Chain A
Amino acid sequence: MCLGIPGRVVETFIEHDVMMGKVDFGGVFKQVCLNLTPDAEVGKYVIVHVGFALQVIDESEAEKVFEFLQHMDDLQELRAGEEDANVEGAP
């Protein structure tokens, strides 16, 4: 359910007393209702579903999975390093 895609707010305006905006989805622009995301300003990314921004994307949270993967890589290297050390230490 619930196709939602990220886009960047490029303009905000009021229509029928409701906050609306123009959102850039990678070169495709669409009018979107920003009423549910009062903190959506120009330049911020929002998740849009059926013409409504649901949430402003938390950019620091968005990085965490990649930090986690980097951390895993580091662990892997560490472990590999330890194994190498063990091999070297073997008689």
Chain B
Amino acid sequence: MPPIADFDQMSCPTPRRQHERVLLGHGSGGKLSADLIQRVFLKELGNDVLSSLEDSATLALGSLEPAVDDARSGPRIAFTTDSFVVKPLFFPGGDIGKLAVFGTVNDLAVVGATPLYLSAAFILEEGFEIELLRRIVISMRHACDQAGVTLVTGDTKVVDRGKGDEVFITTTGIGLHAANHALSIRNARPGDQIIVSGTIGDHGMTIMSTREGIEFETALQSDTAPLNDLTRAMLDACPSIRVMRDPTRGGVSSTLNELATASNVGILLDEASIPVRPEVHSACEMLGLDPMYVANEGKLIVVVAEQDCQSLMKVMKQHPLGRDAAVIGNVTADHAGMVVMRTLVGGQRVVTMLAGEQLPRIC
């Protein structure tokens, strides 16, 4: 066989560079999103409240200064905002309107607040059918009723045909904190247990099943749901909960990586204990995806002290949205900032943050 090229001269690379334009991956909730937030938003807008990167900001009323975690200065409100750009607008188990209400409700609920008021801003594309818009708005009304919140203000803008994608919705929410909860992504301690409230990846794989070029048939439904009733029951029963997060874009792995970094602790997961529906598992296998990175819209992750774990699990399992709750791992002093998984066959691997958009792969 003739000699091939000189191996010592071999190389394969490209110049490293930062992206000059926004990519889809910047919206994936993973590493690229985090980079964009750090490089652009926090650099220019960062302050004590924004830079804490909680799901909702906590603000003390009655004072002009924002006071994080300061229960003495009067009522504290939770304040959050979220935009919704889902395709298709209507999908098994929900629609963009439901998502827009529950998404913001959940961001308030997981910081321990009682969601009260929402605003909604609509960006509509010229030509969008008013009947479809009406269906979305009716769905939002039902969702508000279900979550016990009131939509009190809103805005509408219309962009030229082709300059938007039918409808985008931004919702903003205000909730009220109870007197003495101080949940924060920085509170996890070695020895704490990590619970997920149910099966992971349902929403993301439902959306994926409708995606052009990839579509598949399944009975899967989005898990979109308001978590405030569940979180209320949990906090009433177990005031020592340290952290709650809803693992939406970027999936459970990205949320746990954020948690490990913010609390400067390690996380050790047990793969066998992570609840995944068979259909989600199969669809992920088919496309070469990992459910740990797939979005959820009605699930939460809780970190709780070990001694309270069993009583909290009992409360969660009694609630319809926590029926499949499972302890999936624990917080460690080892490997701070990293999430490690004990795999099904007894090995270990590092579970990293989603790098860009999750892509179906052939290999």
Contact = CB atoms under 8 A, between A and B. Distances in A.
B216 A50 contact: no
Contacts of A80: none
- Interface band, chain B: 10 to 19
Identify whether the interface residues of B are mostly helix, strand, loop, or mixed.
mixed
B218 interface: yes
B286 A1 contact: no
A5 interface: yes
A3 interface: yes
Contacts, number: 40
B282 interface: yes
Interface stretch (A25-33, A38-46, A55-63, A64-72): A25-33
A86 to B, nearest CB: 32
B272 to A, nearest CB: 18
Given A30-B216, A30-B217, A25 B285 contact: yes
Nearest to B283: A28
Contact of A2 (B217, B278, B285, B362): B362
Contacts of A25: 282-283, 285-286
Contacts of B362: 1-3, 49-50
Contacts of B278: 26-27
Interface of B: 209, 216-219, 278-279, 281-283, 285-286, 288, 361-363
Contacts of A49: 362
Given A3-B288, A5-B285, A5-B286, A28 B279 contact: yes
B319 to A, nearest CB: 26
A71 B362 CA distance: 36
Interface of A: 1-3, 5, 25-30, 48-50
14 contacts: A1-B363, A2-B363, A3-B361, A3-B363, A5-B286, A25-B283, A26-B278, A26-B282, A27-B278, A28-B217, A28-B279, A29-B217, A30-B216, A49-B362
